[in-house]
Structure 1
Amino acid sequence: MKTGNFLGIFLLAVLLLPFANANAATSATLDVSVLRYEPTPTEPGQYFDVWFKVDNTGGTVATNAVLTLVPNFPFSTDDNPITEIGILNPLDSTTIKYRIRVADNAIEGMSDIDVTYSANPKTSIIVSKSFEIEVRTSDAQIGINSIKTTPNEFLPGEVGAVTLVIKNLADSTLKDITVKLDLTSTLTPFAPIETSTLKNIKTMNGGQSNTIIYNVIATPEAVSGVYKVPVTITFKDLVGTEYTSTEIISLIVGGTPQILTNIEPETTFLSGSTGDVRANIINKGLVDIKYVTVKVNPNGNFELLSNDEVYIGNIDSDDFDSATFKLHVMSEFSGELIVPTTVSYMSANNKAFEKTHDLKMRVYSVDEAKNLGLIASGSSSTTTIIVVLVVGFLIYRWNKKRKNKNN
């Protein structure tokens, strides 16, 4: 009995098989593929468009075809994810476009975008399918956001620091970052001190900034000026593509000049006298100065009988130069004479300076000068005259006696 039942079922299945195959051959069967997506590759934080092609590869009409976008990280859409295609004839196709956003923190590489589709969700199976979309930052870039040197200008032999703030200008994470301060040129009078010129950073997220500090020293023989120094940055994106960029920063050798001034009379000045004075400008600093001009500003105690301004020119470090002026001191003045003097000059880096000094010199009255032995006193002059007359008289008498003897 059991054997008979089994044989009956088997024969029934064999008889129905042609009908099942015929039904399968004539049913609606959908297939979905990606025609293209733009831009390629996609970028974190940006939108892209994707076109899906839906084909009816079956033998009957799809009466209620549906395509549904399943937006999983890192993809999302502002569009309606469900597209009701409706009727799709056999061997016919249609194209559906979605606008999709890539998350800001998307990982670079290949990510899946998922869809489901069915010829009729109520009567047909629902099929799931995934497609790979490439995510990559096209503008992978790390730039120097700010530069600071301490001090602003290096004196020869001075130790300082160069501080760089670098920023990941891309939206995605970058890795294996190396920042090199290139001091290898013989024309660059700087050297690293206590630190390497290479700095490494493991990763930087999109928009992240990092601070890097280099300790440097200006060589003792450094000449004032502005020196261009390359900074080379190498890095990789998460896919492993390597990038290199080079930027130029400036390091300055210079500083504030240091000068001393004094005044030196070329003769002893008495009340009411006239004479020359030298204004000495001493460059005691480590940097040269140029375009030096000295100007004397007269006051009520003296008159200026020469030009009030004298151009000197350049004065090297550890050197000096002078400007000469002719003064007439008022007859009623004696004591410490103040000569207001203005010195204008530029540093080697063309930074302008102007300093006013009250230079001091001594003016003596006649009595003070006599008491100090700077000039001969009146009694001494009389004695000298008498001595000269006596000597002259004795010489005269001696010559006269000599003539009488000869006669």
Structure 2
Amino acid sequence: MKRSVIFSLLLMMSISFALAETACDLDVSLLNQDPYPAVPGDYVKLVFQVEGLDSPNCNDITFDLTEDYPIKFNPGETGERSFKKIDYIKDYESNLLIPYEVRIHKDALDGANPVEITVQSKSNAPITKTFNIEVEDIKAKFEVYVKDYNYQTNEITFEILNIASIDVEALALEIPKQNSITIKGPNRVIVGDLDSNEYTTADFEAIPSDGEFKINLIYSDTINTRRTAEKTVSFDSSYFTNRKADQTTTGTGTYVFYAIVVLLVGWWIARKFSKKKK
């Protein structure tokens, strides 16, 4: 009797050790985020790593990235990935790399934004973990106005103000072809770097019509990505006609010249008249 009890206990312990030895102990980490930080409204690539697959029981792995703020999948896509068979080699580490490309919500807040994943093997209960995606709004914001227009030279001057909290580099202003403004010469002007809350100007030879036209501001952001911001600019010719600065004025030198001419003519007439008297 005692022998059978001892045998049963030993058998149960052996089974327990065997199960523990072959248990599928899954763990997940966020291996990479590109770009870092992510930009609101843009795509970000995420790579998750699943570890703890060092067991022949680790089959039928299901991994799910939950679609919730601040991430969104493309139409027709989901966050679920299934792996029916995992290559297992005894005494060697096995893992899965699971990539995603998702769009960040355009109103995502700066800083850490949580995303949730769930992973499960056929023989284990699901495991849920939360990871943080770093987000930073690095898109520049501009205000653009027509500062001046010269009807004699057809030169139009734009004033560009960087109202974002970031500096931009290699800024260029481009006026695409459109009916509301005709460009003579190059339609793109390189402005250079523009710090936050600073302004600069750009000049073109152009013939604008009253109304609105589009311009493009092309720049490099803080992660050295070239971006384009489209702006609508208004032009009203009444602001640039009949100005005092445009009116022809008679200078002091002109008055002095005419005065000298009058004096010389008067002196010549007086001299000629005096000679006739003699």
Whole-Å separation in 2 of the counterparts to 1:32 and 1:101:
22
The structure having more radius of gyration, on CA atoms, is 1
1:134 matches 2:144: no
Q: SS of 2:69's equivalent?
A: coil
Which of 47, 65, 68 aligns to 2:64? It is: 68
* Cα pair 1:113 1:130 within 8 Å, conserved: yes
Alignment-derived partner of residue 256 in structure 1: 244
Alignment-derived partner of residue 95 in structure 1: 97
RMSD: 4.3
Whole-Å separation in 2 of the counterparts to 1:77 and 1:168:
31
Which amino acid is the alignment partner of residue 252 of structure 2?
D
Which amino acid is the alignment partner of residue 256 of structure 1?
K
Q: SS of 2:82's equivalent?
A: strand
1:316 matches 2:252: yes
Which of 36, 46, 49 aligns to 2:45? It is: 49
Whole-Å separation in 1 of the counterparts to 2:245 and 2:125:
88
Superposition TM-score, scaled by structure 2 size: 0.51
Q: SS of 2:15's equivalent?
A: helix
Superposition TM-score, scaled by structure 1 size: 0.36
How many correspondences in the alignment? Answer: 177
Alignment-derived partner of residue 191 in structure 1: none
Note the C-alpha offset of 1:59: 2.9
* Cα pair 2:160 2:200 within 8 Å, conserved: no
Which aligned pairs between 1:142-153 and structure 2 lie closer than 5 A?
Answer: 142-147=141-146
Q: What are the ranges of 5 or more consecutive residues in structure 2 without an aligned counterpart?
A: 1-7, 151-158, 167-193, 203-239, 263-278
Whole-Å separation in 1 of the counterparts to 2:42 and 2:253:
59
Whole-Å separation in 2 of the counterparts to 1:62 and 1:99:
26
Percent sequence identity is: 18
1:244 matches 2:196: yes
1:19 matches 2:1: no
Note the C-alpha offset of 1:96: 1.5
Which aligned pairs between 1:58-207 and structure 2 lie closer than 5 A?
Answer: 58-78=54-74, 79-90=77-88, 91-120=93-122, 123-139=123-139, 141-147=140-146
Alignment-derived partner of residue 224 in structure 1: none
Whole-Å separation in 2 of the counterparts to 1:317 and 1:86:
95
**Which stretches of structure 1, 4 residues or more, deviate above 6 A after TM superposition?**
12-15
Superimposed CA distance per residue, residues 19-54 of structure 1 (whole angstroms, 9 cap, x where no aligned partner):
323312212222222221211211000001111122
Whole-Å separation in 2 of the counterparts to 1:57 and 1:96:
14
Q: SS of 1:21's equivalent?
A: helix
Q: What are the ranges of 5 or more consecutive residues in structure 1 without an aligned counterpart?
A: 1-11, 154-163, 176-232, 234-242, 259-286, 290-313, 326-407
The answer to which structure, 1 or 2, has the higher relative contact order (CA under 8 A, 6+ apart) is 2
* Cα pair 1:108 1:136 within 8 Å, conserved: yes
Whole-Å separation in 2 of the counterparts to 1:245 and 1:167:
5
* Cα pair 2:52 2:94 within 8 Å, conserved: yes
Note the C-alpha offset of 1:16: 3.5
